[in-house]
Chain A
Amino acid sequence: MAIEVNGKTYETDEEGYLTDISEWNEDVAKLLAEQENVNMSEQHWEVINFLREYYNEFQIAPAVRVLTKAIGKKLGPEKGNSQYLYELFPYGPGKQACKIAGLPKPTGCI
Chain B
Amino acid sequence: MAAPEFAVPELKEFRAIPALQPGVMAHSKPNVANEKINEAIGFPGELVENWQEKAIDKMGDLLSKYRSLKVYLDSCVHCGACTDKCHYFLGTGDPKNMPVARQDLLRNVYRRYFTPAGKLFPKLVGATDLTREVLDDWYKYFYQCSECRRCSVFCPYGIDTAEITMAGRAIMDSVGLGQKYANEILGKVIRIGNNLGLPGPALEDTLQGLEEDVKEETGLDVRFPVDVKGAEVLLITPSADFFAEPHIDSLIGYAKVFHAAGISWTLSSKASEAGNFGLFNGSYEMMRKVALRIREAALELGSKRIVVGECGHAWRVAYSYWNTLTGVGAGGDDPFARQLQSQLDLRYKQPMHICEFTWDLIQRDALKFDKDANDHRIVTFHDSCNVARASRMGDTPGGQFEIPRNIIRAVANKYFEMPHGSTHEQTFCCGGGGGVLTDELTEIRVKGALPRMDALNHVVQANGVNFMATICAICKAQFTKVLPYYKFNRGMVGGVHQLVSTAIRLGDK
Does A78 reach chain B (CB closer than 8 Å)? no
B244 touches A107 (CB 8 A): no
Q: Identify B194's interface contact among A35, A62, A108, CB under 8 A.
A: A108
Least CB separation from A70: chain B residue: B209
Within 8 A of A (CB), among B226-245: 238-240, 242-245
| Interface-side segment among A2-10, A20-28, A92-100 | A92-100
Decide yes or no: A36 and B199 within 8 Å by CB, A66-B205, A108-B194 being known contacts: no
Q: Are B439 and A95 interface neighbours, CB within 8 A? A: yes
Contact assessment for B209 and A69 in the assembled complex, using a CB-CB cutoff below 8 Å: yes
Of A14, A83, A110, which is within 8 A of B477 by CB? A110
Across the A-B interface, the 8 shortest Cβ-Cβ residue pairs: A108-B195, A109-B473, A58-B202, A110-B244, A109-B240, A108-B196, A63-B243, A109-B474
Q: Is the CB of B244 within 8 A of A94?
A: yes
A-B contacts, 18 listed (Cβ < 8 Å)? A36-B2, A58-B199, A58-B202, A60-B197, A60-B199, A63-B248, A65-B206, A65-B210, A66-B206, A69-B209, A69-B213, A82-B245, A94-B243, A107-B197, A108-B185, A108-B238, A108-B239, A109-B437
Contact A106 B243 (CB under 8 A): yes
Point out the residue from A65, A91, A107 that lies within 8 Å of B3, measured CB to CB. Answer: A91
Chain A residue numbers with a CB within 8 Å of B197 are: 60, 107
0 or 1 for each of A61-105: is its CB under 8 Å from B? (1 = yes): 011111001000000000000110010000110111001000000
CB distance from A40 to the nearest CB of B (A): 15
Complex: A69 Cα to B2 Cα, angstroms: 26
B196 smallest CB distance to A (angstroms): 4
Instruction: Enumerate chain A residues within 8 angstroms of B481, measured Cβ to Cβ.
Output: 92
Instruction: Given contacts A63-B206, A108-B243, list 5 more A-B pairs with CB under 8 A.
Output: A15-B1, A15-B440, A62-B202, A109-B247, A110-B196
Q: How far is the CB of A21 from chain B (nearest CB, A)?
A: 13
Question: Of the candidates B180, B199, B238, B244, which one forms a contact with A59 in the assembled complex, judged by CB atoms under 8 Å apart?
Answer: B199
Residues of A within 8 A of B238 (CB): 108-109
| Chain B: CB-nearest residue to A58 | B202
Q: A14-B31, A16-B1, A91-B2 are in contact. Are A107 and B205 (CB under 8 A)?
A: no
CA distance A86 to B245 in the complex (A): 12
Q: Does B311 contact A (CB under 8 A)?
A: yes
Contact with A along B1-22 (1 / 0, CB 8 A): 1110000000000000000000
Q: B196, A60: Cβ atoms under 8 Å?
A: yes
Partner of A107, one of B1, B196, B209: B196
A43 lies within 8 A of chain B by Cβ: no
Question: Distance (Å) between the CB of A64 and the closest chain B CB?
Answer: 5
Bound: A5/B129 CA distance, A: 48
Given that A59-B202, A60-B202, A63-B248 are contacting pairs, would A107 and B185 also be in contact in the complex, using a CB cutoff of 8 Å?
yes
Check A37 for interface membership: any CB of B closer than 8 A: yes
**Interface: B254 (CB within 8 A):** no
- Cβ–Cβ contact B181 & A107, under 8 A: yes
Complex Cα distance, B273 from A108, in Å, reads 10
CB distance B245 to A64 under 8 Å? yes
B414 at the interface (CB under 8 A from A): no
Report the bound CA distance from A110 to B239 in whole Å: 9
A65 and B244 alpha carbons, distance in the complex (Å): 8
Taking residues whose C-beta sits less than 8 angstroms from the other chain, chain B's interface range is 35 or more
For A82, the chain B residues whose CB sits under 8 A away are 245
Counting CB contacts under 8 A, is B184 at the interface?
yes
Interface residues of B in 474-488 (CB under 8 A from A): 474, 476-477, 481
A58–B491 CA distance with the chains assembled, in angstroms:
28
The total of interchain contacts (Cβ-Cβ below 8 angstroms) comes to 99
Main secondary structure of the interface of A (DSSP, over half): loop
A63 to B241, CA, bound (A): 10
Which residues of chain A come closer than 8 Å to B473, judged between CB atoms?
108-110
A37: B residues at CB distance < 8 A: 2
Chain A CB within 10 Å, residue with most, of B1, B213, B437, B481: B1
Q: Of B184, B199, B244, B437, which one neighbours A63 at CB under 8 angstroms?
A: B244
Q: Chain A residues with Cβ under 8 A from B490's Cβ? A: 86
Let me know if B282 is at the binding interface, CB within 8 A. Answer: no
Say whether, besides A66-B209, A109-B311, A36 and B275 are in contact (CB < 8 Å): no
B188 in contact (CB, < 8 A): yes
Q: Using Cβ atoms and an 8 Å threshold, which residues of chain B touch A107?
A: 181, 184-185, 188, 195-197
When chains A and B are docked, how far (Å) is the Cα of A87 from the Cα of B201?
Answer: 30
Residue in A closest to B185 when the chains form the complex, CB atoms: A107
Which residues of A are found within 8 Å of B196, using beta-carbon distances? 60, 106-108, 110
CB distance from B434 to the nearest CB of A (A): 12
Identify which of residues 79-96 in chain B touch chain A, using a CB-to-CB cut-off of 8 Å. none
- Expressed in whole angstroms, the minimum distance between the Cβ of A77 and any Cβ of chain B is 12
Contact across chains for B31 and A15 when beta carbons are under 8 A apart: yes
Return the contact of B248 from the options A35, A65, A83, A92 (Cβ within 8 A): A65
CA distance in complex: A55, B196 (Å): 13
Which residues of the partner chain A approach B476 to less than 8 Å between Cβ atoms? Answer: 109
Within the assembled complex, what's the spacing in Å between the Cα atoms of A59 and B195?
14
Complex: A16 Cα to B440 Cα, angstroms: 12
Q: What is the chain A residue whose CB lies nearest that of B207?
A: A63
B354 CB-CB contact with A under 8 Å: no
CB-defined contacts of A65 to chain B, threshold 8 Å: 206, 209-210, 213, 245, 248
Question: How many angstroms from the CA of A96 to the CA of B474 in the assembled complex?
Answer: 19
> By CB atoms of chain A within 10 A, which of B199, B206, B474 has the most?
B206
